[in-house]
Structure 1
Amino acid sequence: MSGTHSSNDLGSGLKQRHVTMLSIAGVIGAGLFVGSGHAIAAAGPAVMLAYAAAGTLVVLVMRMLGEMAVASPDTGSFSTYADKAIGHWAGFTIGWLYWWFWVLVIPLEANAAATILHAWFPGIAVWVFTLLITALLTVTNLFSVKNYGEFEFWFALIKVVAIVAFIALGAAAIFGLLPGSEVSGVSHLVDTIGFMPNGIGAVVAAMLTTMFSFMGTEIVTIAAAESSNPAKQITKATNSVIWRIFLFYLVSIFMIVALVPWNDPRLAEIGSYQTVLNLMGIPNAKMIVDVVVLVAVTSCLNSALYTSSRMLFSLSRRGDAPAMARRTDKSGTPYWAVLLSTAAAFLAVFANYVAPAAVFDFLLASSGAIALLVYLVIAFSQLRMRKQRVAKGEKIEFKMWLFPGLTWAVIVFIVGVLTIMAIRPDHRIEIVATGLLTAAVVATGLLVARRRKAENNGRVALSN
């Protein structure tokens, strides 16, 4: 199949197993293995409420996105739908913001992977590993979408096996069936200053950080456009998002807070998974977690390269990015879009090493609220597209639940979260930086639209 082109000039080389695995493990990043320790240390066992709230939001957003994607699969996904439903400026803005988000993920994940490799091979500098990893994955992404799918399939499989094994060990430890384990039972859920030791404020703060660990769930709607049966793949992936988030996040976090006191300093220092495995008496716990985290960050890096290039390709097809980005090779790979996205990521890596820390910190902060803006745009697009489709008398195959009430509830929730972020000093910089970036992109989009309108008017005048 990889040689054939679908109607969007991209290859359709992603097999069913690729898309299935991508949808199952696309949501598992280093945030779960390492970052969850900080969230637990801040909110205590009640961190499960933060994960449940963030997870519920993602399930609802995916359902809305699924409704639009099943009706018209497109590699531009929500950016294309925003273009049709809200206006050209909205599709332009959210497309470029999303591209920027994933371009910034590339140097972050490459650096995380390089740091692990540097600890194993101290003779080789971190920047050398960063360069090698990014270059290697760029090359695999350049060949064909099938390569991306194959790499991601195996990365995802390792992540899933690791989490399932962790949950099995955790269950054995809880029931006292694990020989050599220092921990058992679930008393730590309440025995250390209660279930919510730091109050609801700490849970809200934890939710703000956990929400971003779910970013990437929507990639499956972008990737499905390069499979042979997009509507079927999107329906399956969207339906399975509930049990994926429940199993991978809620169950594994439950195991951690049940077995380890939330105020154990090691949770934030060495990460939640490693702390629990050490206490269970699992040999080489650090090495096991390092390998899994290395796979997780490499997988995120692979996805970031893929996603940023496909969004750039889609923007180019709509005339909103350089024309060269829409060129594809024989296998349907948008090679210029891959190279341009990687080049932007290399500039970010370069900025990380040579620019003052404040510059790179601002770049990072500028992507801080993009996930929420993407979700907000998806909700508004779904509201309008449903009305448009109903007005045309179209049959809606895959529906958002309790429409329009639940869609409006999501919008109110997201606006509430953005407001809390603006009020809280520790998140205000993200709102300010993302706000400035968004304003700049919207202004550019309006200028592009005005120029295009003037060109069209000029053509009409000439033809008359």
Structure 2
Amino acid sequence: MSRTLPAPPPPTESTPAPAGNTPGPGNPLSNGLKQRHLSMIALGGVIGAGLFVGSGAGIAAAGPSIVLAYAVSGLLVMSVMRMLGEMSAADPASGSFSVHADRALGRWAGLTAGWMFWTLLVVGVAVEAIGAAHIVQGWLPGTPSWLWVLVFMAFFCGTNLAAVSHFGELEFWFAALKIGAIALFLVLGTLAVLGVLPGTDAPGTAHLLHDGGFLPNGASGLLTGLLASVVAYGGLETVTIAAAESQDPARAVAKAVRTTMWRIGIVYVGSMLLIVTLVPWSSRAVTEHGPYAAVLERLGVPGGGQIMNVVVLVALLSAMNANIYGSSRMAYSLVSRGQGPKALGKVSGGVPRRAVLASSAFGFVAVLLSYWWPTTVFAWLLNMVGAVVLVVWGFIAASQLVLRRRLERAAPGKPAVRMGGFPYLTWVTLAGVVTVLALMTLNAGTRAQLFSTGGLALVLALIGCVRQRAAATR
């Protein structure tokens, strides 16, 4: 437990011991993640399947203004990550923002934020498994997609049941492949825009300003692109969960957060600008083959579509691995604080194996639901997690408002990671989150997501309040 914050009432999550310690009664989880693992998880975590797959729909809706959408939501997520980094560096825990919400706002908030995020991750596992299976089935059409889902689920469940270093090593190489792919794309795209790539002419501003203008579909298109970009940024929080099992959590979090700004600026905003500069935003190839494949085809890269299929497959598998890891640690953290089934709290070999199995099992059940009831139950599940990222960001900002003041009273001076502009920037970020949630009411599809997510939040908050009141009377 950090010495800079007052100790919360029991039960609490135990934080990993300093480097060199092994799992034990006071240190249930291991510290098997090395700095190189955390560095690559932080770098690769920003390059997710949502960027490669989901950005096509955003471009089709917003046109060139997708650059503005990613920039605005990027500023929002940068502030959120700065807040989360500040709290996690001061008090690293595998429950990350759920633990901070617990300590700042009450146990009901920790329960609500934690189980909402767990639900988001396990549903994400199902979506990613299905997407990866479809890609492989396209290469091997004689094989059933359910078989590949089973293979992927079993493999990543097994990996996460082993030592945490195995998860870290897989993510290290997944991240290396994604970083290499996006770096090559950025280099080729920049050369093409400058007109120095052989066989291409500089496009200038033709696609940016003359194919219907910068805002071809008006404010409604920009709104759709903004919401798509918010979803694409989801998952960056996992690095603060993983940092709690590293050899130097405070340093790992500080380094990850400090690089957030340029990673978001270059990878997301930079690649969107290249795409809408090089290809018409209304091109069918953008939605049918994906925006990155459309650019590679435009540049005459041989087998560009298949190259991007490989990259997307790597991104999907990486997300599966990270989501099983993150959901199991969040479940373990919640249980260790008395906010979940006690059976999931058992740790062996530094790994919460029952939590890993439960999270993987729920993900596999969600896959089955996608086959049995794709337009009813599974669609409801997808809607239910549609706005979870925004709700979690709201909890992070509200928690930082409380914990920053508490930290300054307990230990005056600069924390390891400090968000500037406090408390004004925190309030601006909260207002931004509320504004995006309000904008979701303007579209029928996003309105359904908002109400479904709101229902989940309300149910969990009520359960948390009842449990909190019951604990107070004991």
TM-score range, shorter chain: over 0.9
Give the number of equivalent residue pairs. 454
Alignment gaps of 5+ in structure 1: 458-464
Query: Which residue pairs with 2:310 in the alignment?
Result: 291
Matched, 1:4 2:22: yes
Q: Distance in 2 between matches of 1:369 and 1:157?
A: 30
The code of the aligned residue for 1:273 comes to Y
Deviation at 1:340, TM superposition (A): 0.8
Query: Which residue pairs with 1:462 in the alignment?
Result: none
Q: Is the 8 A contact 1:103 1:305 kept in 2?
A: yes
Query: Which residue pairs with 1:371 in the alignment?
Result: 389
Query: Which residue pairs with 1:77 in the alignment?
Result: 96
Q: Distance in 2 between matches of 1:210 and 1:420?
A: 14
Mapping of residues 313-462 of structure 1, within 5 Å:
313-330=332-349, 332-355=350-373, 357-397=375-415, 398-454=417-473, 457=474
Query: Which residue pairs with 1:113 in the alignment?
Result: 132
Query: Which residue pairs with 1:461 in the alignment?
Result: none
Deviation at 1:427, TM superposition (A): 0.8
Alignment equivalent of 1:25, drawn from 44, 49, 52 = 44
Deviation at 1:181, TM superposition (A): 3.7
Alignment equivalent of 2:263, drawn from 220, 223, 244 = 244
Deviation at 1:354, TM superposition (A): 1.6
Deviation at 1:294, TM superposition (A): 0.2
Q: Distance in 2 between matches of 1:411 and 1:437?
A: 20
Q: Distance in 1 between matches of 2:179 and 2:206?
A: 27
Q: Secondary structure at the match of 1:227?
A: coil
The Cα RMSD (Å) is 1.6
**CA, structure 1 residues 264+380, in 2 after alignment: closer, same or farther (shift >3 Å)?**
same
TM-score by length of 1: 0.95
Mapping of residues 170-189 of structure 1, within 5 Å:
170-181=189-200, 184-189=203-208
Alignment equivalent of 2:284, drawn from 265, 273, 280 = 265
Which whole-Å deviations, capped at 9, do the CAs of 1:210-249 have from their partners, x for residues lacking one?
A: 1010111111111010001000110000000000001111
Q: Secondary structure at the match of 2:256?
A: helix
The code of the aligned residue for 2:122 comes to V
The code of the aligned residue for 2:310 comes to V
Query: Which residue pairs with 1:150 in the alignment?
Result: 169
Matched, 1:45 2:64: yes
Deviation at 1:183, TM superposition (A): 6.6
Which whole-Å deviations, capped at 9, do the CAs of 1:178-208 have from their partners, x for residues lacking one?
A: 2234774443221212222222332122101
The code of the aligned residue for 1:128 comes to L
Matched, 1:141 2:141: no
Q: Is the 8 A contact 1:2 1:13 kept in 2?
A: no
Query: Which residue pairs with 2:14 in the alignment?
Result: none
Q: Distance in 2 between matches of 1:38 and 1:348?
A: 24
Matched, 1:58 2:58: no
Mapping of residues 204-223 of structure 1, within 5 Å:
204-223=223-242
Higher deviation after alignment, 214-223 or 441-450: 441-450
Higher deviation after alignment, 289-298 or 4-13: 4-13
Mapping of residues 92-111 of structure 1, within 5 Å:
92-111=111-130
Q: Distance in 2 between matches of 1:29 and 1:441?
A: 28
Matched, 1:165 2:165: no
Q: Is the 8 A contact 2:55 2:228 kept in 1?
A: no
Q: Distance in 2 between matches of 1:388 and 1:39?
A: 40
Q: Distance in 2 between matches of 1:46 and 1:197?
A: 8
Q: Is the 8 A contact 1:34 1:270 kept in 2?
A: no
Q: Is the 8 A contact 2:193 2:278 kept in 1?
A: yes
Which whole-Å deviations, capped at 9, do the CAs of 1:120-148 have from their partners, x for residues lacking one?
A: 11111011101110110100111111000
Deviation at 1:388, TM superposition (A): 1.6
Q: Distance in 2 between matches of 1:32 and 1:67?
A: 26
Q: Secondary structure at the match of 1:390?
A: helix
Which whole-Å deviations, capped at 9, do the CAs of 1:148-187 have from their partners, x for residues lacking one?
A: 0000000011000000000111112122222234774443
The code of the aligned residue for 1:235 comes to A
Q: Is the 8 A contact 2:386 2:449 kept in 1?
A: yes
Q: Is the 8 A contact 1:176 1:185 kept in 2?
A: no
Q: Distance in 2 between matches of 1:193 and 1:423?
A: 23
Q: Is the 8 A contact 2:335 2:341 kept in 1?
A: yes
The code of the aligned residue for 2:66 comes to V
Q: Distance in 1 between matches of 2:374 and 2:437?
A: 28
Query: Which residue pairs with 2:294 in the alignment?
Result: 275
The code of the aligned residue for 2:142 comes to G
Q: Is the 8 A contact 1:3 1:13 kept in 2?
A: no
Percent identity of equivalent pairs: 43
Deviation at 1:356, TM superposition (A): 5.4
Q: Distance in 1 between matches of 2:272 and 2:102?
A: 38
Higher deviation after alignment, 63-72 or 344-353: 344-353
Alignment gaps of 5+ in structure 2: 1-18
Q: Distance in 2 between matches of 1:214 and 1:186?
A: 27
Deviation at 1:3, TM superposition (A): 7.9
Deviation at 1:2, TM superposition (A): 8.8
Query: Which residue pairs with 1:300 in the alignment?
Result: 319
Deviation at 1:325, TM superposition (A): 1.8
Query: Which residue pairs with 2:243 in the alignment?
Result: 224
Q: Distance in 2 between matches of 1:426 and 1:182?
A: 40
Q: Distance in 2 between matches of 1:107 and 1:364?
A: 10
**CA, structure 1 residues 357+426, in 2 after alignment: closer, same or farther (shift >3 Å)?**
closer
Q: Distance in 1 between matches of 2:443 and 2:195?
A: 42
Deviation at 1:308, TM superposition (A): 0.2
Query: Which residue pairs with 1:256 in the alignment?
Result: 275
Deviation at 1:12, TM superposition (A): 0.5
Q: Is the 8 A contact 1:267 1:275 kept in 2?
A: yes
